[in-house]
Chain A
Amino acid sequence: MEDIFLALGLLIAVTISLSLYRAVLGPGVFNQVAAVNVIGTKVIVLLVAVGYIFDRPMFVDISLLYAILNFIATLVMSKYLERGEICSA
């Protein structure tokens, strides 16, 4: 079963490096933000897979925290691009 998680982790790594193309070169800043959001959500699953590969279940906590951080980062970036400021006084 560890082999399957290893294959899953490698596949996610490949998909992350493919979406790096959009994150770096994507025309316009919105493509980049979308690609960064996609990479973040993939890293959540990658962390779970890494936890099973190394038999360290604590990685699930890290991925929960990472999910929340990624969500907030996406919201803040899109609000900033929408209004030109993060918090209107």
Chain B
Amino acid sequence: MTRSKEHNVGLMLAVFAVLYIFWLLMSACINPLNGHFSPIHIIAGIICAGVVTLLSHDLLITKEGEMTLAKTFRLIAYVPWELWQIFLANFDVAYRVLHPKMPIDPRIIEFDTSLRSDFALTTLANSITLTPGTITIDIDPGKGRFLVHAIAKKPADALLVDKTMINKVAHVYMEEA
């Protein structure tokens, strides 16, 4: 009992520190060129961050998962590939928009994954929305089922057959693809 309470206090301190650093970064723009801090802003920041921490400290950090640090590093390694995919996606969509005949052939596809955790599903859904020619419509979190709107046949096949992105997201969150 006492241990869990101590853990709770540590968590609250962490949340308070994050909120207060955020406040300082946001309120340093009183004189934007050199970042002038006035005492009233520092004290108001302590009060506001304290109140928010007391009310909602269990929302920001829910619980400690396993291997959080390794997952964070893997997520950081995943981001550049994702950015490159977003770049390709934009040229793809720009080509389809500006082409006089509009080479589109929309369809709705459905597929299952074995991902279960909320973070993995959210990451995969956002990645699907931002990468070439596909947008997530609906997710069934219990079965890991995705409903995806694809703008043509090629991006749909890229998602159904290649499964590069699903494997990468599964690698980031250490789940089986």
Say if the two chains contact directly (CB < 8 Å).
yes
- For B, the interface residue count at a CB cutoff of 8 angstroms equals 3
Q: Which residues of B contact A61 (CB under 8 A)?
A: 26, 29
> B93: shortest Cβ distance to chain A, in Å?
14
Give 1 or 0 for each of A49-62: 1 = CB within 8 Å of chain B CB: 00000000110110
Q: Which of A16-70 contact B (CB under 8 A)?
A: 57-58, 60-61
Q: Which residues of B contact A57 (CB under 8 A)?
A: 29, 32
Give 1 or 0 for each of B16-28: 1 = CB within 8 Å of chain A CB: 0000000000100
Q: How far is the CA of A58 from the CA of B26 in the complex (A)?
A: 11
Which partner residue on chain B sits nearest A56 by CB separation? B32
Which partner residue on chain A sits nearest B26 by CB separation? A61
Q: Which residues of A contact B29 (CB under 8 A)?
A: 57-58, 60-61
Q: B residues within 8 Å of A by Cβ? A: 26, 29, 32
Q: A residues within 8 Å of B by Cβ? A: 57-58, 60-61
